[in-house]
Amino acid sequence: MPKILLTFILLSLIIPLACRKKEKVPFGQEDSLSVSNQIKVWRDTLKHYQFLEFSETPLILTGRLFPNDTIYQGKGEIRKIAHLLSFWRMTQDTFHLDSLLFFVDSLNPKDTFCSVIYNDFTRHTIAIFQYDSLWLIRFRDSVSLETVIRIGYSLPQEREKVYPLTGRRCLLFKKENGDYKLQRLSGFTFSYPKDSAPGIKSVSLSQEGRSVTISRDEFGKPIILDSLPSFRSEEPIVVNVICEEPSDTLNIKYFGFLYKKGERQFLGEGYNFNGSLTFSRVGISHLFIEIIPAKNILYPDFTYYYTILALPLRITH
């Protein structure tokens, strides 16, 4: 084939490709920046550790001898808090990661969305227990109590327990007028350790004229903001929490706690808990529920096991 003819054929193939109009990518760096800026706007509302106390907080418990003290039989000697004064938490090594996925609506390609996996991590949450007396319990053998002694201290004693805390949420943003707006939001639940922590079956929330029950399958489900459980400000919300009962109800008891930002309520001991909280600020707020085996608080040497549940609510006038 003559060289001139070959050159002509190659040019006839290359020129149309070079001159073809490039298809516009529906999202790019400016989209990522817009979503990141919106996440910053919501950051204070979404913080996973906002329920923690961060300062000395009273929790007066007069420890008595429970049937669940038998869990340590055969171990010679155990120590149990006889009079708890306070319980609070601090955090160390907290960080945040987001995973963004952009996509368009297959039925309406002009609608652009961003799905965000929103991850908060705290490697070291420090639970601090303050007490002024201990039970010293000694066993003669695996079935016989030998002695029980109460030890008092002139100054309050402290015990720290370190554990992780993770808040993993799902967010959905939609592009509107060139900017992204939060459209859907989920709460989160976290259990430590996963195979031994208490299980929450359902939570019921009620206020005069309205009621909603949220099952375990719905705890992490993203919900349209306008469809979040809605309650009036300055009126109590009654909360009922139903937990899974452990196989050993003699030796395993649960303590329940109810939180909103800046407030904690101790719900007592059991497997079903009732309490109430009132929200003042209108907008999106969170109700936090924490279930802790009693032994994790009362035994200074026992590992901290727990389950935390964060439920987003829409508070209206």
> Domain total for the chain?
1
Q: Is residue 15 domain-resident?
A: no
Which ranges in the chain belong to alpha helices (H)? 3-19, 29-46, 294-298
- Cα separation, 315 vs 311, whole angstroms: 12
The confidence score (pLDDT) of residue 73 equals 52
Closest CA to 119 of 136, 85, 95, 103: 95
The confidence score (pLDDT) of residue 22 equals 43
Instruction: State the DSSP code for 109.
Output: T
Residue 23 contacts by C-beta under 8 Å, 6 or more apart in sequence? none
Q: Is residue 14 domain-resident?
A: no
Cα atoms in the Cβ-side hemisphere of radius 13 Å centred on 132: 10
Q: Is the pLDDT of residue 25 over 70?
A: no
Q: Is residue 243 domain-resident?
A: yes
**Tokens 């389950």 map to which residue?**
307
The confidence score (pLDDT) of residue 148 equals 83
**Tokens 């955090």 map to which residue?**
91
The confidence score (pLDDT) of residue 7 equals 45
Q: Is residue 6 domain-resident?
A: no
- Domain enclosing residue 182, as ranges: 20-316
CB 238 within 8 A of CB 221: no
Q: Is the pLDDT of residue 119 over 50?
A: yes
The confidence score (pLDDT) of residue 21 equals 43
Q: Is the pLDDT of residue 300 over 80?
A: yes
Q: Is residue 202 domain-resident?
A: yes
Q: Is residue 7 domain-resident?
A: no
Q: Is residue 158 domain-resident?
A: yes
Q: Is the pTM of this model over 0.75?
A: yes
- Cα separation, 299 vs 79, whole angstroms: 6
Compare 14 and 299 and report the one with higher pLDDT: 299
- Cα separation, 80 vs 134, whole angstroms: 5
pLDDT interval class at 115 (50, 70, 90):
very high
